[in-house]
Structure 1
Amino acid sequence: MSQDEPVLLGPARVRELAAAAGVRPTKALGQNFVLDAGTVRKIVRQASVAPGETVVEVGPGLGSLTLGLLAAGADVVAVEIDPVLAALLPSTVVAQAPSLHVEPPDGEGAPVVLRDGAGRARLTVVTADALTVTALPGPAPTSLVANLPYNVAVPVLLTFLERFDSLQRGLVMVQAEVADRLAAGPGSRTYGVPSAKVAWYATARRVATVGRSVFWPVPNVDSALVRLDRREPPTTTASRQEVFAVVDAAFAQRRKMLRSALAELAGSSAAAQQALVAAGLDPGDRGERIGIEGFAALAEQLVPVAGAGAR
């Protein structure tokens, strides 16, 4: 290891940092801090992080994964909702990576930037709720790598895929159950709204399981890594919002056949059946059997039907 390479955090250092700052992980923010440097390296490796690329990290916490991304040569934009943790992160990174220095912020509330000796911005810390972020400082990120807070993992992932089309890849750590949902295909018992909506933006696959013992506090469930690779959305004249409205309606009552589940959206069961047939779908199927391309085709048929019903 060179003297310029960041030193990753271990269990003792994580607890030392937390104690010094008076920080305890909170369930309200879905916080579970990674203690194991080996797990951090696995995440970075599975994410295919390349030197010089800009990576956005949501929920950096005490900086375990942040340091791993920096060690891989990435420039990191870290979005942290907790102001105490956001304020602590720059000093932690400087202590573990002495070649970096903190640039004084432009003003109150401005992002904090850490630069290397050549003046390159290596870490930018944004104190904000990830669900409200609409723009990020610096070059557009090409990858999202994050240990996502358990309680908002799916909405944060969908929000970033929607708002930042520069993202070509992602590697997120989520609850194992959520990972199964994100990566599920049509016909699977775990396929649902998150599966279909993520498929609009990317192909998703579960690539590794992460045991609960690598976290502090130890959660009640295992976690898993989900790899995402950006794809073109289905070709359709319907908007993304219109397609997602059909997805939501199809899964609102999973046991209902599509002609019944979509009756309200279409104006009647008969109109829903007509749209389903026109889209080449079986009105007796349920939402769990329809892929995102099918939902896109169905939205094309339902938009004029629903509009006519509204008039």
Structure 2
Amino acid sequence: MAKDHSHRNYSHTQKKARNGGGGRTPQDRARREFSQNFLVDRHAVEAVVKAAEPEGLVLEPGSGEGVLTLALAEAGAQVVGYEIDPRLAGRLASRTRGNPRIDVVRGDFTAARVPREPFAVVGNIPYSITSKIVDWCLRAHGLTAATLLTQREYARKRSGDYGRWSLVTVESWPWFDWRLGDTVGRESFRPVPSVDSAILRIERRARPLVQDRRSYQELVELGFGGVGGSVRASLRQRYDGVDAALAAAGVARDTVVGHVHPDQWVTLWGRLCG
């Protein structure tokens, strides 16, 4: 039976419902309330499972109708699926009651307790709270990897595919590798969203690239502060030897912060803080 936990609005989403009464049927109203877009393409499901290489304990945000849940279990994972829609959670729990590899939890994944044992996260996650789910993953000490089907633009930004790097990626880089996977077209979902999705893989490194998290994050946050229009101008507010550190990292003196590769930040930390 599905466990009952407190929850908020989430599923694979584009936008939150504007009112609770839209839709002609209970299913339509649920899709509006929980902003659901279900993955219906078998090839897309296979691509996610292949990217995840699931084994051991896997938490799945937004199990929905259970297509990915069942595929992960069939691949050998022990799956705990979180589903906020009580109708879908109850249906999936009934459907999988005899499957020892699947446990369905009715509730908000972002409020879930972090397991004591190592685990992975795999899911077709909502656009509207993607950042909350990613933040939860990055804070979870036992997480080995997160394989997330997100809005393609989000995945490209976080993996540096535009040639620019975001603060969240740079800050977490010494501990996590971010990679862009296959594109999953909008036609792979029902209802069909307005944009394509992509697989984003966030994998914990076996060994951190820096030894002091606090000093590294202080360096990065100062660099992203935007003072003077370049990373050099920002870092010179607090650190000595910035020009030599930039040269060692291969960063031009007029480089804007978004164009500094995360590996270059690691070199800057080693020169300025290590």
Partner of 2:130: 153
Give the superposition deviation at 1:175. Answer: 1.0
- The 3 A distance-change label for structure 1 pair 255 and 31 is farther
CA distance in 2, matches of 1:294, 1:228: 19
Say whether 1:140 aligns with 2:126. no
Partner of 1:291: 261
Q: Residues 168 and 229 of structure 1 are in contact (CA less than 8 Å); yes or no, is this contact kept in structure 2?
A: yes
Residue pairs, 1:1-311, within 5 angstroms: 24-26=30-32, 29=34, 31-50=36-55, 53-94=56-97, 100=98, 115-116=99-100, 122-136=101-115, 140-165=117-142, 167-184=143-160, 188-231=162-205, 232-236=207-211, 238-239=212-213, 241-253=214-226, 256-261=229-234, 270-272=237-239, 274=240, 276-277=242-243, 279-280=245-246, 284-296=254-266
Give the superposition deviation at 1:38. Answer: 2.8
- The 3 A distance-change label for structure 1 pair 254 and 42 is farther
Give the superposition deviation at 1:69. Answer: 1.0
CA distance in 2, matches of 1:285, 1:93: 54
Q: Residues 192 and 251 of structure 1 are in contact (CA less than 8 Å); yes or no, is this contact kept in structure 2?
A: no
* 4+ aligned runs moved over 6 Å, structure 1: 300-303
Q: Residues 37 and 190 of structure 2 are in contact (CA less than 8 Å); yes or no, is this contact kept in structure 1?
A: yes
RCO higher in structure (CA 8 A, sep ≥6): 2
- The 3 A distance-change label for structure 1 pair 290 and 93 is same
Q: Residues 224 and 231 of structure 2 are in contact (CA less than 8 Å); yes or no, is this contact kept in structure 1?
A: no
Give the superposition deviation at 1:161. Answer: 2.9
In the superposition, the TM-score normalised over structure 2's length comes to 0.73
Residue type of the alignment partner of 1:159: W
CA distance in 2, matches of 1:178, 1:25: 23
Residue type of the alignment partner of 2:37: N
Identity among equivalent positions (%) equals 28
| Structure 1: segments with no counterpart, 5+ residues | 1-18, 95-99, 101-114, 117-121, 263-268, 304-311
In the superposition, the TM-score normalised over structure 1's length comes to 0.65
- The 3 A distance-change label for structure 1 pair 128 and 248 is farther
Give the superposition deviation at 1:63. Answer: 1.5
- The 3 A distance-change label for structure 1 pair 132 and 260 is farther
Give the superposition deviation at 1:22. Answer: 6.4
- The 3 A distance-change label for structure 1 pair 83 and 174 is same
Give the superposition deviation at 1:57. Answer: 0.9
Q: How many residues align?
A: 245
Higher helix proportion = 1
RMSD, aligned α-carbons: 3.3
| Structure 2: segments with no counterpart, 5+ residues | 1-24
CA distance in 1, matches of 2:110, 2:241: 34
Q: Residues 227 and 233 of structure 2 are in contact (CA less than 8 Å); yes or no, is this contact kept in structure 1?
A: no
Partner of 2:5: none
SS at match of 2:201: strand
Larger radius of gyration between Structure 1 and Structure 2: 1
* CA offsets 1:27-55 (integer angstroms, 9 cap, x no match): x75532112233212211222224xx211
Q: Residues 208 and 224 of structure 1 are in contact (CA less than 8 Å); yes or no, is this contact kept in structure 2?
A: yes
- The 3 A distance-change label for structure 1 pair 60 and 141 is farther
CA distance in 2, matches of 1:275, 1:133: 44
